Structure 1
């Protein structure tokens, strides 16, 4: 379990560094509410970005991007609403949901990071 948690934290650190290198600014990390958590809340220009970091060691059950199902989207949307209610200074800004997928951080090869902007737009 600790190994899994450490990999998750490493994936979040990698994602945060990547987003910051691309000009986003951290507003909050691991923001918690009763029904969920927001991994990274970033500011991209004037847009509040709720970034879900997904790590998959193996693609056997699907990759990291595929792991964000409808139930997970609902939880993220709820958490984002709670964030905007509690952090009301950001409530009037445009928002989007991004997914940062991190695959294969096992040391043999460099991790592959995929950043999907507006991940929940259909």
Structure 2
């Protein structure tokens, strides 16, 4: 076509690439953690469930118990742990309470909130009942 100019494809910004890399790393970490729990007999009830102002990465069942899991990934365990803060814990507990409201036993459902940390080598470490609730 006459007068048509081809424009070069847009390049992704460095920030956009970091964000995409982080998103995919987070999804990979969640998958590692899901498999870790499944090997121990847990069943996945939900992934990335949103309620009460926070997203819960994984919700699992083991018999009648419901386990809420926050997945953190970073190059090291300590870096991943440093990314957990009190406000985030409060939001996760509110979301967990909202989920439990839909359970037959409601808030009386046996439950716990775990934190699963995945380091740069893919090693999974689970801190059961990390928030001291349940």
Query: What is the TM-score normalised by the length of structure 2?
Result: 0.77
How many residues matched?
114
Contact residue 103 and residue 111 of structure 1 kept, 8 A: yes
**Which stretch shifts more, 90-99 or 73-82?**
90-99
Equivalent in the alignment of 1:23: 41
RMSD: 1.8
Contact residue 32 and residue 122 of structure 2 kept, 8 A: no
Equivalent in the alignment of 2:103: 88
1:30-68 Cα offsets, whole Å, 9 max, x none, are 101251101101012321100111111356xx4222322
Quote the Cα distance in structure 2 between the aligned partners of 1:44 and 1:118.
Answer: 14
The structure where strand makes up a greater share of residues is 1
Bigger radius of gyration: 2
Q: 1:102 aligns with which of 115, 118, 126?
A: 118
Structure 1: gaps (5+ residues): 105-109
Which structure 1 residue ranges, 4+ long, deviate > 6 Å from structure 2?
A: none
Q: 1:52 aligns with which of 53, 70, 76?
A: 70
Question: How far is 1:84 from its partner?
Answer: 1.7
Query: What is the TM-score normalised by the length of structure 1?
Result: 0.84
Question: How far is 1:112 from its partner?
Answer: 1.6
Structure 2: gaps (5+ residues): 1-18
Quote the Cα distance in structure 2 between the aligned partners of 1:45 and 1:115.
Answer: 19
Equivalent in the alignment of 1:8: 26
Instruction: Please tell me whether residue 112 in structure 1 is matched to residue 123 in structure 2.
Output: yes
